[in-house]
Homo-oligomer: A and B are copies of this chain.
């Protein structure tokens, strides 16, 4: 995220200026402030906050870096500089940090849940990010220990149900893809049934996404692939309807990756505030 992109977020909030601070706070008045966590979680967005404050000449002391745990009352960042600048940037910085930290916190919770269950399954995001925030949403997932998955449509081949509906069959779709795909790209196929999953695995997919399947269906696919000697040769991703309460059940089926749209499309912000201390 370049400073130009962060500035566009500030300008969206600013319009022609922070008219309240301009009326109340004399130019040249210096102030100190702290960004304080109001909930327990994983902090993210600290790099972006630092860039924005520094762009306006505000000094920044980082107490908690991206990925650190914070508890209520923890000071994440200390700032010192022109009071008007701190107040002008406040909301934009908090909006960025609260969203990113919320995503990182939820991702980390799932990652830890799986780790504690002794499982070795990755937690991945999807392309269901907030429009315009793909880069920050994916970065927050990574900070939380998750996996970004495809960054964009041009990142890897992912043959979805709509493609298969138009092409006719998983096999035909995979064949067309393999003939022309760039050698630097992987091919993933979305399968909704055992037979589609097998067809994909046998036709050379690198990854098979088992979409909207129940854990027992997934176990069946895994068993079948093991019988065929294909398990381990193709990566298995579970997706659809997975949430914190059933994630362990899915994670113990034998899949390698679990992807969850809600990490980014329904991100719950981590509460923080900026408090002027002088």
Q: Which residues of A contact B (CB under 8 A)?
A: 2, 4, 7-9, 11-21, 23-25, 29, 31, 33, 83, 87-88, 90-92, 94-96, 98-99, 102, 122, 124, 127-136, 138, 147-163, 165-167, 173, 176-177, 180-186, 188, 207, 235, 237, 256-257, 261-262, 265-269, 274-276
Cβ–Cβ contact B23 & A150, under 8 A = no
A173 CB contacts on chain B under 8 angstroms: 24
Cβ–Cβ contact B159 & A20, under 8 A = yes
A182 CB contacts on chain B under 8 angstroms: 19, 147-149
CB distance from A247 to the nearest CB of B (A): 17
CB distance from A21 to the nearest CB of B (A): 7
A31 CB contacts on chain B under 8 angstroms: 166
CB distance from A239 to the nearest CB of B (A): 13
* Interface pairs (12), CB distance under 8 Å: A4-B7, A15-B153, A20-B158, A23-B157, A23-B180, A91-B127, A95-B128, A124-B183, A147-B183, A155-B184, A161-B275, A162-B276
A237 CB contacts on chain B under 8 angstroms: 183
Cβ–Cβ contact B149 & A21, under 8 A = no
A134 CB contacts on chain B under 8 angstroms: 12-13, 16
Question: Of B12, B266, B276, which is within 8 A of A269 by CB?
Answer: B266
- Copies of this chain present in the complex amount to 6
Cβ–Cβ contact A276 & B166, under 8 A = yes
Question: Of B9, B136, B151, which is within 8 A of A154 by CB?
Answer: B151
CB distance from A139 to the nearest CB of B (A): 8
A23 CB contacts on chain B under 8 angstroms: 157, 176-177, 180-181
